[in-house]
Amino acid sequence: MKRRYLTYMACIVLGLPILSSCSDDYLDVDPKGTILESNYYRNPEEAYAGLVSAYDPLGWQAGNTYHNFGAVNAASDDAHAGGGGPSDMNTWQAWNRFTLNPAIGPQEEYWNRNFRGVARANTILSKLEAGVPGLSEAMTARFIAEAKFLRAYYYFDLVRLFRNVPLFTAPLETSELFDQEQVTPEQVYAQIEQDLKDAIPNLPTTVPASTEGGRVTQGAGKALLGKVYLYQKKWADAATQLADVNGTPGGTSMYGYRLLEDFGAIFNPGNKFNSENIFEIVHTSQGNAGWGTWPNFDGNIAVLMFGPRGYSGPIYEAGWGFNPLTQDLVNALTGDPRFEHTVLDVNNIPDAVYEPSFDDTGYFVKKYAPTKEWLSTGGGDLILNYPNNYIEIRLADTYLMEAEALLQGGGNSTRAGELLNAVRARVGLDPVAATLENVYRERRLELATEGHRFYDLVRTGRAATVLGPMGFVEGKHEVLPIPLNELVNTKLVQNPEYR
């Protein structure tokens, strides 16, 4: 089916705009008009468009977060905020130095993106469950499964970022919006688990990359469920789900997942939907966006964010200098074969010059660097249209999560070692003992700058030790404050750490 930008009216929660555009990059670009939600979902095509609208917030890049790796990199010990100065992207700077307060930080965008996703998922679920004329039973079941996965995904972001959030499983009437209260994290996690359990049986085992790349599969559902269990320390449940995703370490799993031999090829925009990538947030250079379309881009703006400022030289284009890598990460990767694919060392590029970023180290994110090869050749402003997908979940990540769950839960330590060392063997490293310390170290080196490090430090209780020198306060900075605007005329209460 054609891609359509469908502007539609939905029951949105807590300060979220009523009208917004929707799109998803597994579809072709085909702008359309404005349609009221009450008159929509009359046929399979309109049901599909509603599902696309629920996917759409995955790729939003309004300026503060850039998926789950821009702002959150700055909160970790992988990277600084960077940019042009101490007030450039002050939301990142505040998280980088843990000077967050309810008015300053990336929380508003995380809240809006994820609750918009929840609202759109709830809207399409209500229509599908009521029945859409002409939509087959099998397709209805698949659409419901995708929408439940998406609702679980958005709520997983919300509960781990804010801990205390309201829980919505159906569209709300306008009169109900301001009377909602937060529930316990345990209630949110229970809903996430139930949504994923409901979704998994009706998700396809594979999808054709050329026409449906980016849509949710059964493997993605199990990978996310395993991750959700891991965050709750449900070790045996996590290991069981992740084992289905991973299969035999180093081999091909039941879903066709396999570690790529070439580590660098994972992040090549010409190698999307490869055997290692389980869930990708899709971008394209075909949107031909310009500055006037901000922030509704189809390209990956994070790529531009990460490029060295004022760069002139071979291979790369100039960017805005955000997320310069910490010397600590560079030191940890020195001598590791993944260094060359992770660290962009500007000072070692012949004939290259650049302008130092704030907190500059000379090292930048290479996995999503703005290369000349992938600069758009279409219309619009070319630097806004990089086609790099963001890889949300990949196989090396699930290998290491299963290894951790096995070790934490007293499971099969032999298999844990096989999983850990398959990740190392792929890049030519010798085996190491199956210990938690080695798994944690491997996660940092393997997944560096991909947005996992801050969450890993928090969930494993190591954040205060590692991030303390950056200003992290134990018992406070594990979560973000509830956005200030969301507290006005509502029954929401601020997280106690920020009162």
The torsion defined by the Cα of 299, 305, 306 and 308, in degrees rounded to 10, comes to 120
State residue 281 phi and psi, 5-degree precision: -95, 120
Query: What pLDDT shows up at residue 36?
Result: 61
User: Taking residues 304-333, what's their average pLDDT?
Assistant: 97
Tell me the mean pLDDT in the region 461-474. 98
For residue 431, what pLDDT is reported? 98
> Rounded mean pLDDT of 448-467?
98
189 Cβ partners below 8 Å, 6+ apart? Answer: 159, 228, 231, 232
Q: What percent of the chain has pLDDT over 90?
A: 84
Return the pLDDT at 234: 98
Residue 1 predicted with pLDDT over 90: no
The residues, ordered by sequence, that sit 6+ positions from 294 with a Cβ below 8 Å of its Cβ are none
Are the C-beta atoms of residues 264 and 254 closer than 8 Å to each other?
Answer: no
Query: d(Cα 394, Cα 400) in Å, to the nearest integer?
Result: 10
Q: Is the pLDDT of residue 137 over 70?
A: yes
Mean pLDDT of 104-131: 96
Q: Which of 116, 181, 110 is nearest to 150 (CA)?
A: 116
Q: Within a 10 A sphere around the Cβ of 184, how many other Cβ atoms?
A: 12
State pLDDT tens for residues 7-61.
222 322 332 322 233 333 333 333 333 456 677 899 999 999 999 999 999 998 8
| Residue 64 pLDDT exceeds 70 | no
**Lowest mean per-residue pLDDT among 142-151, 373-382, 465-474:** 373-382
Average pLDDT in the 288-304 region?
86
> Which pLDDT belongs to residue 117?
96
The SS3 assignment for 54 reads helix
The structure tokens listed for 15 are 């300060």
Rounded to whole angstroms, the Cα distance separating 354 from 197 reads 50
Tens digits of per-residue pLDDT, 67-102? 568 999 999 999 999 999 999 999 999 999 999 999
In single-letter form, the type of residue at position 189 comes to Y
**Alpha carbons 275 and 281: distance in angstroms, whole number:** 15
- pTM, 2 dp: 0.92
Q: What's the pLDDT at 262?
A: 98
Per-residue pLDDT at 35: 54
379 band by pLDDT with thresholds 50, 70 and 90: confident
- Which pLDDT belongs to residue 69? 86
Q: Give me the sign of the Cα torsion angle 209, 291, 310, 315.
A: positive
Q: Encode 309-320 in three state secondary structure.
A: EEEECCCECCEC
3-state SS, residue 378? coil
Cα–Cα distance list, 227 to 223, 367, 394, 456 (Å)? 6, 23, 12, 11
pLDDT tens-digit map of 173-216: 888 888 999 999 999 999 999 999 999 999 999 999 999 999 99
User: Is the pLDDT at 122 greater than 90, yes or no?
Assistant: yes
- Chain centre to alpha carbon of residue 396: 16
Using 50, 70 and 90 to split pLDDT, how confident is the model at 378? Answer: confident
What does the pLDDT read at residue 380?
Answer: 86
pLDDT band at 6 (very low <50, low <70, confident <90, very high): very low
Alpha-carbon distance of 318 to 298, in angstroms, equals: 20
Distances in Å between the Cα of 76 and the Cα atoms of 83, 153, 292, 361, 441 are: 16, 22, 33, 16, 14
- 8 A C-beta contact, residue 344 and residue 449: no
Residue 316 forms beta bridges with which residues? 371
Average per-residue pLDDT for the chain: 91
Write down all domains in the chain, each with its CATH number in brackets. 1-60+106-203+476-499 (1.25.40.890)
Beta bridge partners of 20: 8
